[in-house]
Structure 1
Amino acid sequence: MLTYDRAVRFEEVDAAGIVFFPIFLNYCHDAMAALFEPLEGGYVRLVMERRIGLPTVHVEADYRAPLRYGDVARLEVKLLHVGSRSFSLGYTITRAADGLPVAEVKHVVVTTDLDAMRAVPIPSDMRALLVRLSAASAP
């Protein structure tokens, strides 16, 4: 399991003063990018040099409580499934200050060659990282 903390920024709240619902998906993407930072060159090299993309093909979200400007979102990231060309991540989002459950997100991505724009097998270094995440997520 990966734990990723993300402060709520002023521009992320709506007129009601709470985080606008699609922003939670940005938080999940930030956590996914952090997950791949241990790779040589991190997520930036994965996308910009290796030309491996991780486009979303499915997402589900359940919202339980609001976050406000000044809160810190804590995302716990777990591997739910890994296939040959895709994987699923689960995010449990809480308010870091008190552990209040805020949202649950399921996110499926496909490993993609960004130049050919087609699905490709998950590279071995990425797969190894996902397997380590899975082992760390096990009870």
Structure 2
Amino acid sequence: MSDRPRLSPDDLVHATTVLHAEPRPVRFQDVDAAGIIYFARVLEYFHDAFLSLLRRAGIDLPGILQEGKWGMPLGHAEADYLGPMRFGDDVVVEIVRLTLSERSLHVGARVRSTEGRVLAIGQAVHVCIDRETFRSRRLPEETVAALTAVGAQGKGAG
């Protein structure tokens, strides 16, 4: 994944552009025995916000998956935890960066408190594949156009 546009923690913490934001409560089932968010839940929060962004962009993910020709599985995911999230806290999950390359999509996200404090940051790379061969392929042009319309940057399929 050498074309992966790596984001620095500062890029994510201090991003001024928010492509998508959704509020959510930290639920009881989201916390561990220590009373703070279970680490994997933050990645779920990021992914849920990304799926909401795809839906808002008009990308019919269930239809794409049913068609079975192509997909965008994760090639990489990471998160940094900067502050505690506890059961009952209200947070906002934000997608702050979408960067297209010819065959992948890089997503930058963060979780912040309703007061604005950044509590977690993360990034993920989704690699476009042919689902029959499981080999890398170009992002479909209509997907690039839809993602560009909601703020994605980069060269895409062009």
Question: Deviation string for 1:72-97 (max 9, x for gaps)?
Answer: 331221334211110111102102x3
Unmatched tracts of structure 2, length 5 or more:
1-18, 154-158
Residue in 1 that maps onto 2:39: 21
Deviates more, 1:105-114 or 1:44-53: 44-53
* Counterpart among 98, 108, 131 of residue 114 in structure 1: 131
- The answer on 1:55 being equivalent to 2:54 is no
Distance in 2 separating the partners of 1:41 and 1:135 = 14
Residue 143 of structure 2 aligns with an amino acid whose one-letter code is M
Residue 38 (structure 1) aligned with residue 56 (structure 2): yes
Q: How is 1:44-123 mapped onto 2 (pairs within 5 angstroms)?
A: 44-95=62-113, 97-123=114-140
Stretch deviating more after TM superposition (70-79 or 43-52): 43-52
What code does the residue aligned with 1:112 have? I
Return 5+ residue gaps in structure 1 as ranges. none
TM-score (normalised: structure 1): 0.83
Q: How many residues align?
A: 135
Q: Is the Cα–Cα contact under 8 Å of residues 78 and 123 in structure 2 kept in the other structure?
A: yes
Greater per-residue strand proportion: 1
Give the secondary-structure state (helix, strand or coil) at the position aligned to 2:119.
strand
Whole-Å separation in 1 of the counterparts to 2:92 and 2:70: 27
Distance 1:46 1:8, change over 3 A: farther
Assess if the C-alpha contact under 8 Å between 2:100 and 2:152 holds in 1.
no
Contact 1:39–1:125 (8 Å) recurs in 2: no
Distance 2:103 2:74 in 1: 12
